[in-house]
Amino acid sequence: MNVEEFFGDSPARDDRFRVGEIREHLDNFPTDHPEYTREFLHRQMNEEVNGLEMSARNIVDFPEAPWELRMAMARQCWDEARHIDAFRDCMERRGGEVGQYRVMNFQYRIMTKIDNLVGRLAVQNRSFEAAGIDAIQVEIIERSRRGGEDDLVALFDAQLADEVQHVRYANVWVKKLTEMTGPRALMQIARAVHLAGEALKHVAGEALMFFPVDRALRKEAGFDDTEIAAAEQTIAANSNA
């Protein structure tokens, strides 16, 4: 399959931004580099912009979605907007500037290639954001705490609460949409998750990372024991590959 079949068009960015398509195009500083934290915050800021754009596109692209689901997606837009401001503030406090480092918009490009809402929720919220809550809890908050960066600990702690809610509402609605539409939804989810996984391999290459599943957070986000065990098995298989 042509790799471009995994991706939609890029979102608009102004002239400040230099956009790469794969991880190798980014400024991948080692963790002990003096610019590591600034670049990381800049990258996260843009990923939060992607989160806002993806949720907004879902509202626009699927006007027939139930009102309660549309409201949940609108609330996610508000959350992501707050995250963008918070990451920008922390970055600029450390001397960074918007556009200083290269960014990627791979999540948006993967999402907009999926032509159904249940598949998008399964990928954006139940896959990307679920992996994000594992990373925030297991790696990022602890690293910030060890470094004495109290503002980052507070930022990621607040972000984590929002991301858990984003995963939770998607879990609720993926189940509801599946009940409403039957086996077709299951096929759409399976295809969307598979294509997203292949796209991620192209974007990250050998740098694709997997974090241990945080069982308590996953429970709070609405995953059941079977789903958590399946996620653990998938991560173990990919980590050992």
Task: Give the separation between CA 121 and CA 129, rounded to whole angstroms.
Answer: 10
Q: Which two tokens stand for residue 139?
A: 């790696």
pTM for the structure as a whole? 0.91
Share of the chain above pLDDT 70, in %: 97
Check residue 208 and give its pLDDT.
74
Check residue 131 and give its pLDDT.
86
Per-residue confidence band for 237, with pLDDT thresholds at 50, 70 and 90: confident
CA 165 distance to own-chain centroid: 13
| CATH number for the domain formed by residue range(s) 3-239 | 1.20.1260
Give the DSSP letter of residue 26: S
pLDDT tens across 147-186, in order? 899 999 999 999 999 999 999 999 999 999 999 998 999 9
Task: Give the separation between CA 8 and CA 64, rounded to whole angstroms.
Answer: 22
User: Given a cut of 90, is residue 121 above it in pLDDT?
Assistant: yes
Check residue 231 and give its pLDDT.
85
Closest CA to 124 of 61, 70, 50: 50
Strand partners, 167: none
> What value, to the nearest 5°, has the Cα angle with vertex 85 and ends 157 and 137?
20
Identity of the residue numbered 98: V
DSSP-based three-state secondary structure for 187: helix
Encode burial over 125-160: b for 16+ CB neighbours within 10 A, e otherwise: bbbbbbbbbbbbbeebbebbeeeebeebbebbeebb
Closest CA to 125 of 137, 114, 141: 114
User: Given a cut of 80, is residue 239 above it in pLDDT?
Assistant: no
- Name the residue with higher pLDDT: 199 or 3: 199
pLDDT tens across 186-212, in order? 999 999 999 998 998 889 887 677 778
User: Given a cut of 80, is residue 71 above it in pLDDT?
Assistant: yes
Per-residue confidence band for 141, with pLDDT thresholds at 50, 70 and 90: confident
